[in-house]
Structure 1
Amino acid sequence: MLSDVTRATPKFWRDAQLPFIEARSIDDGRKVHYSRHSHEIFSIGAITSGQCVYLHEKTRQAISAGTVVLMNPGAVHACNPIEDKPWSYLMLYVDPHWLAGIQHGGEWGEPQGFQPIAATYTQSPELFNGLIDVYQHLTDPDQEVLAKQQAAVGFFSKVQQSLGRSRSTPKVVNQRVERVGEYIDAHFMHSIRLEDMCAVASLSEAYLIRAFEQRYHMTPHAYLTNRRVQYAQAQLREGATIAAIAQQSGFSDQAHLQRVFKKHLAATPGQYKA
């Protein structure tokens, strides 16, 4: 029988031959707590047992086993336990450029970008079972790469057929606030002051913070921290050492990186890298 520590330890899967997709699962999520965060990739997950609280942008709701959750790139979200009730889940993280090829049918011509999916969750048995199946294919060491590729393409084709036809409402773009997001993206490895961002946007401090949170569902500081965690993830996948990443990515030291990384992803950098 697995110990409570083992069951609560996240399991990650990656394959250099399939760089467009990554998987994660956890058997007991009672001790798993995420802060609100976002990814640069598309995320889709299945609640395999129990219940949890699902935060997505400005919404909050309890979801249970059989539910599939979906997060577009940049969507702020978190799934956390309800009191001390057991729950488990699995996740797939997918390159949106690869997914765009499936959305547009692989047609020749001008490349088309990823189309955000409007649905934030579904209780479709077909998609739930399909997600479980593709996860098992991907993590099975006896499956050939071709079989894994086919399983992934088949599943995400079903997602597109079921959920991809509805269009999300376009966001009203505030160019000044967008410039601040771009500024953080370009300078996140360094210390950034509020007055620097105000100068970029030609906005007052109070207005900038309010408008930025309305646009990104995070404060500027939370966005900056999240961007640093995203960078740390990418560097860990490339094999960089935790100490080197901490030095490069704007964290004060390795311990700071460890604390923030675990708060965002409910896993230590070492667990993610393994």
Structure 2
Amino acid sequence: MPDDFISTEPPQRGVQRLLARFGGHAYDLHRHETYAVGATLLGAQGFRYRGAGRISARGQCMVLHPDEWHDGRSATPDGFLYRMVYLDPDRVLAALGGRGPLPFVGEAVAEDAVLATLIDEFFASFPEPADPLAVDGFLADCAGRLARRAGLAPADRSKPLARMRRVKALIDAEFDRPIASEDIERVSGLDRFETARHFRAFVGTSPHRYLVGRRLAVAHRRIARGEALADVAAETGFSDQSHLTRAFKGRYGLTPGRFRALLAAGGAGFR
């Protein structure tokens, strides 16, 4: 495996992402005041946690509670690559409605496809800063997942449909501008975490992913009509052409340029 590295970012709204690779020793014994929620992408990593040795292999997820001592090392000769998200406990508690206790997940390493998908989606923009709606959506979904694994009572699943329709209408109408969590709170009359939970129940995805999907649907049509990618990016809410390209590939499985070339090869186009 290539040389060791760490790629990280400043904390944003109580959340910090990290991508790292190590071939041998990684960390001495330490502890931090945040949750550490991560996924091993390649190899396997070993660590001591709550008095026992643990191994997280490729495809497995880790959940470490605040203020618990742990270290880190490679458990295979080829090293390991992993993603980690650090979450402030007060933000986790807020995402659960402000009611304690904090969720304690006893199984530090597990096969958890739901959590792995949440982490994978949250890293889609990394190392660029995550959209504030994506941060709040991840917090809501991740806190809910931690609570379920900790055996805590599930959050209220009632569906204020009229409020969620207003949020959806806002995104549909104003997708081409930055939409902040404060905007959806104003429209829904609920806090951002309640809104994210209820919106997912109503629409099937988070407000942020719905927003990106709305932008991509419009970009898809405009790209097919032959418009310049830079113009499409600027006019559909993406920060630049590369941002559009990454999002487009993540949604459709091919780059805008290849999509346009395939349309031309097939003699198809959009008007």
Structure 1-normalised TM-score? 0.49
Structure number, greater radius of gyration:
2
Structure 2-normalised TM-score? 0.50
